[in-house]
Copies of this chain bind each other. A is one copy, B any other.
Amino acid sequence: MDSEQLREYGHRMVDFIADYYKTIETFPVLSQVQPGYLHNLLPDSAPDQPETLEQVLDDVKEKILPGVTHWQSPSFFAYYPANSSVAGFLGEMLSAALNIVGFSWVSSPAATELEMIVLDWFAKLLNLPEQFLSRGNGGGVIQGTASEAILVVMIAARDKVLRSLGKKALEKLVVYSSDQTHSSLLKACQIAGIHLENCRMLKTDSSTNYALRPESLQEAVSGDLEAGLIPFFLCGTVGTTSSTAVDPLAELGKIAKSNEMWFHVDAAYAGSACICPEYRQYIDGVETADSFNMNAHKWFLTNFDCSLLWVKDRYALTEALSTNPEFLKNKASQANLVVDYKDWQIPLGRRFRSLKLWMVLRLYGAETLKSYIRNHIKLAKDLEQLVSQDPNFEVVTPRIFSLVCFRIAAVDNDEKTCNNLNRSLLDAVNSSGKLFISHTTLSGKFVLRLAIGAPLTEEKHVMDAWKVIQEEASFLLASQVK
């Protein structure tokens, strides 16, 4: 690590990266390589002697980039976005350069303290209740992903119950959510040892736009209580992955509270929108939650990974996840003067991730960030309108944020043909390399998902995407008629 070599090579890498962004629209959005493509392009073993930066960068261009799906392309509309920004990128650089391992306060006090401060800032932007702020028993913490967020709160909730009821109660613990909830919930259950037959993924349908009905929850809870089981964990979602369904937090929270369940709110994607006053309503009821999670790395210009988790009772986390080996003991921790984030998460080590979020908030400011979100939502609204005006298509479920769920409409209620057509459309559109969208199913319908949220996406990209979709659809429909 020579500072002058770092300077020279660093500058070259900055130019390489700036050039990548400059030409990003020339790449197929979805990588078009075949499985195993890289195996024959690279040697079988590591080199014994150093190679040059030129050789490596040439290989990045010629061998790696063809295998990259370009999440930062303005025509990336699949899944949910994973925003990169100048501020987020600079934060990543700085964090990688300091390269501290912030497991406990003493290992780099600034890492812990900046995280607490920035999470408080963010909680205020979202107008989260006081109890989620760090000044009391609550507080925020940066996890890698929403999966880890949900796992740590589930472990906290599980151990809280088991401490009072004994370990044998594990087999009676019941988890509730809608069938639209992200797969990370079931994965957390698997890891935490919750019996899968006690995981209630309650059915939803189009009558609530795939939101969980409080009556369904109440009914399930009552049944389980009667059966001698122990309801202990409820996950509500604001902006499901399939279709941005919004569960009614306040009503669900009431049921959770009266049954002493831990109530977790997953707003991984849509949480970003809730910094705008006009979208804040979607997390109304969050005051009834025990924990709240949103991913700044999705739609908030903060490079992956940066998943924000707030809890009301930090001790529920630390009682379940603390370790205190001799080699990490230090005066500040022993005197309980500080937060040691190692006890709020699965791993011991942790990067200085608050830097990038801090830089995003400061270099852009809250007002710019709100405009950023609003612009994507406006583009999605415009697209929704266009889809609904095209007789070949239908909007499958009303758009709320920046995701449009649509499909080629069924003719004569022939759902099977319709699904096949839409599957073919998905393939055709994505193999064009011109854009990348993904899919889901809703009530058995194969549905196309177009999520707007890449930082470079402008109106023309959405319009171009829609044109490609229309053209491929016309072609498919025409060949079907033959």
Contact = CB atoms under 8 A, between A and B. Distances in A.
Contacts of A44: 120-121, 124
Contact of A192 (B46, B191, B241, B324): B191
A366 to B, nearest CB: 5
Interface in A61-92: 63-72, 79, 82-86, 88-90, 92
Given A47-B362, A86-B5, A97 B191 contact: no
A440 B346 contact: no
Contacts of A48: 365-367
A304 B71 contact: no
Interface residues of A, number: 149
A9 B186 CA distance: 42
A303 interface: yes
A136 interface: no
Contact of A86 (B2, B47, B106, B184): B2
Nearest to A113: B38
A106 B184 CA distance: 19
A327 B438 contact: yes
A123 to B, nearest CB: 10
A193 interface: yes
Contacts of A183: 323-325, 328, 348
Interface in A400-438: 438
17 contacts: A1-B85, A31-B109, A39-B113, A44-B120, A48-B366, A50-B364, A53-B90, A56-B363, A60-B94, A68-B108, A70-B98, A71-B98, A84-B96, A183-B328, A187-B323, A241-B325, A327-B439
A361 B42 CA distance: 13
B366 A46 contact: yes
Given A72-B99, A186-B323, 9 more contacts: A1-B455, A2-B86, A46-B365, A66-B110, A67-B114, A93-B93, A93-B96, A96-B96, A183-B324
A363 B50 contact: yes
A100 B68 contact: yes
Contacts of A367: 48-49
Interface stretch (A165-173, A219-227, A391-399, A462-470): A165-173
A305 interface: yes
A216 to B, nearest CB: 20
Contacts of A304: 99, 101, 349, 351
A228 interface: no
B9 A69 contact: no
A86 to B, nearest CB: 5
A386 interface: no
B96 A303 contact: yes
Contacts of A441: 326
A278 interface: no
A321 interface: yes
A46 B361 contact: yes
Contacts of A347: 144-145, 147-148, 305
Given A1-B84, A96-B89, A327-B439, A113 B37 contact: yes
Interface in A100-127: 100-101, 105-111, 113-114, 117-118, 120-122, 124-125
A234 interface: no
Given A45-B121, A438-B327, A90 B9 contact: yes
A101 B16 CA distance: 21
B148 A363 contact: no
A477 interface: no
Contacts of A5: 86
A363 B9 CA distance: 11
A108 B73 CA distance: 13
B98 A82 contact: no
A378 interface: no
A155 interface: yes
